[in-house]
Structure 1
Amino acid sequence: MSCVSSQAVAQIAKPERTIVVYGVPDGLLDDDIMVDILIIHFQKGKNKGGDVEVIVYPTSSQGVAYVTFEDEGVAENVLKKEHQLEDKRLHMGYPLKVSLYGESVFTCMTCILSLSLLKERCSLEDLIEDLKKNLPNLSFGPLDQNGMIRVQGPFWAINALQNSLLLKIKHSSSEQQMNVKEKVPDHRPNSSQTKSRLHLEPRNDSVQNASEEELSVSLDTDIYYYMRKFKNKFYQKTLEQYGVISHESVGDEITTIYLRNNNTKPGPSQLEHARNIVENLSAELLNSLRKTTLPLKWSTRTEKQKCEQACKAVNTQYPDVLVIWYSAHIDIIGSSSDIYKFTQEVKKIGNFQKEPWR
């Protein structure tokens, strides 16, 4: 048993035997002690647990751990149980949410929601309870007096939460904005934890004719980048086929595509068809793609240049792999086999004595 770095999740995770755990109390105890508490919890028979092969904790997402069991059946049983993390070294019990890791690494996202807009229109406590019932894959932290609450879970559940809140805002007949301050999710390590804003609001453009209808699709931003690079011809052909134009609001973690008729083929059914195709394409990519990140924060300028040159050289061998460059890390997105071979070739060509993403 060992605790490995979060950057290795994509390589070590066995989708059928790995679960994602949300709600781990961060900062209370040393990481090694918390790992020990998690092992004990998920090995107990009363928790439907069994032998643990490896635990990944801490990770780049606060309060998130990955647990891989030796037996696939144990992972399935654990998912059926409600979990409360209790130990004499903790001063109280902490509810945990668990979900299967799955084939995709676009698995975990952490958001801080501001619900202050709805504070005077409904009971925030009741609203949160409804969200918990309707979105059981999400883990909700405590609600503070300013209406702020932390939420963790897989992208598709965060997306469903966004849509649910959009409907709530529309029904509240408010034209104000609700902000979601997104913290960097598990698949995008960023030690500075720079926060971005996603504005959740009903579209109300003054230039839009009242008779025009507009539909939206929310995607993981990395999926959007991949789609626009490798599926753009199909995407544009779909819009043209149904007489639809689009504009995008690109955020750090979530991108929203707004679809509107261009009046060549009017009718709400055209918009619905176009949206369904874009949603299906997004879901297909989300399920088939994997992602790994090469952190460069502690690398020297020479090491960064060396890694960049190696990535560019290898990218010609794997044209279906998307490489996104950032100042402190590199994101590599593609099929599981492609990104594994890609990273191996980068190490080989660069002749790194130790990984550049140490």
Structure 2
Amino acid sequence: MAMGQAARSTRTIVIAGVPAGLLQDDVMADILTIHFQMSRNNGGDVEEVTYPTRNKGVAYITFEDQEVVESVLKKEQHLLQDKRLPRSYPLTVTRYCDSVSPDSHHFVLEDLVEEMKKQSPDLNFGPLQPDGQIAVRGSFPALRVLREFLLLKAKSLSEEGKREGKSHQKPRKKLQEYRSAAETRNSRSEHREKQVLVLDTDIYLYMKCFLPKKFQANDVVISGVTDGDITTVCIESAGREAGAARRSRAKEIIERCSVELQKILRKERICLKEQSRGQKQRYKQLCERLKARYPGLLILPYDTHIDVVGTSADVFAQKKNNNLKGQK
């Protein structure tokens, strides 16, 4: 029996980030099965899905073939998408390991959170959730510093794991990695008359709303594709007459504006998970009133939360005046 369990564990992966509470458990298990059977997700035949588990937002997927596990782990990011879900949800996929308990994972995360608080004292950290998630609030510059710290931490842990002969999942591409790849594509595709750059999605949406002229230039076409918290902006020539200089100039203007906005913008999140449907509707109506009262704020309503993006003064003013102190 022990040998059978060991063999089974080699065909099993652990999924974190499953959106709990949105749908019935059997429906969510069905969505997970479909996701990990699809070829575009490097999946294969699923033998069993264990969901829910004692850890909120965590599921176990056992494949019929061990090779599928290796294939699934090679995919750098898994986005759970289904028409029954309100939006896409990023998943963290790791190899199953009997020797590591959920409690030990939690202790490690607690240590990491304490280290993060010391690293970024200007940020406000919420409580560590059972599924390993934590809410962090603060200015874009402070969040960017924290992101850099976590990237370095992940890199060092990955290199340490390789030295010890352990297998780890590749960390998700972050903004700086996207930018590096974008610069490489720019240098290789100059003859295709295209420039590419990567922005934080909140900053991109803020620019589109309040600074639309930054995305307008003579003889060039500027478009954006959003993937979660990252938006890829493509700058192409509108005609044969537009040269590399105009594309580079448009890219430089957008980048400079993005850097300046990172210094002054702040995001406040109002979570709606614990609200009734009627309360959610009232909050969305409130968003419309906020847009009229605070024309300098970007209001982004979602099914589970509302994001308010603007300068620190504007964000705090609307929060105080609309009695939203209790919301995060």
Q: What residue in structure 2 maps to residue 149 of structure 1? A: 170
TM-score, normalization: structure 2? 0.53
Query: What are structure 2's unaligned runs of at least 5 residues?
Result: 1-99
Q: Does 1:217 align with 2:197?
A: yes
Question: Structure 1 residues 34 and 265 mapped into 2: Cα distance closer, same or farther (>3 Å)?
Answer: closer
Q: Does 1:254 align with 2:324?
A: no
1:268 CA drift (Å): 1.5
Q: What residue in structure 2 maps to residue 345 of structure 1? A: 321
Query: What are structure 1's unaligned runs of at least 5 residues?
Result: 1-24, 68-99, 111-131, 153-157, 172-201, 204-209, 349-353
Q: What residue in structure 2 maps to residue 115 of structure 1? A: none
What is the CA deviation profile of residues 302-323 of structure 1, one whole-angstrom value per residue up to 9, with x for unaligned ones?
2212322333223322101011
Please say if residues 186 and 196 of structure 2, whose CA atoms lie closer than 8 Å, have aligned partners that are also in contact. no
Bigger relative contact order, structure 1 or 2 (CA pairs below 8 A, ≥6 apart): 1
Count residues in correspondence.
Answer: 222
Whole-angstrom distance in 2 between the partners of 1:254 and 1:319:
25
Please say if residues 310 and 346 of structure 1, whose CA atoms lie closer than 8 Å, have aligned partners that are also in contact. no
One of 175, 182, 185 as aligned partner of 1:159 = 175
TM-score, normalization: structure 1? 0.49
Q: What residue in structure 1 maps to residue 263 of structure 2? A: 287
Whole-angstrom distance in 2 between the partners of 1:282 and 1:268:
21
Question: Structure 1 residues 344 and 311 mapped into 2: Cα distance closer, same or farther (>3 Å)?
Answer: farther
Please say if residues 57 and 66 of structure 1, whose CA atoms lie closer than 8 Å, have aligned partners that are also in contact. no
Whole-angstrom distance in 1 between the partners of 2:178 and 2:251:
17
Structure 2 counterpart SS, 1:347: coil
Q: What residue in structure 1 maps to residue 252 of structure 2? A: 276
1:103 CA drift (Å): 4.5
What is the CA deviation profile of residues 44-96 of structure 1, one whole-angstrom value per residue up to 9, with x for unaligned ones?
xxxx99x99986552799577979xxxxxxxxxxxxxxxxxxxxxxxxxxxxx
Hey, which of these two has a bigger chunk of helix by percent? 2
What is the CA deviation profile of residues 24-59 of structure 1, one whole-angstrom value per residue up to 9, with x for unaligned ones?
x995459699658966x799xxxx99x999865527
1:229 CA drift (Å): 0.7
Whole-angstrom distance in 2 between the partners of 1:223 and 1:60:
30
Q: Does 1:314 align with 2:312?
A: no
1:347 CA drift (Å): 2.1
1:259 CA drift (Å): 0.8
RMSD: 4.7
Whole-angstrom distance in 2 between the partners of 1:234 and 1:170:
20
Please say if residues 183 and 197 of structure 2, whose CA atoms lie closer than 8 Å, have aligned partners that are also in contact. no
Q: What residue in structure 2 maps to residue 334 of structure 1? A: 310
Q: Does 1:266 align with 2:229?
A: no
Structure 1 counterpart SS, 2:323: helix
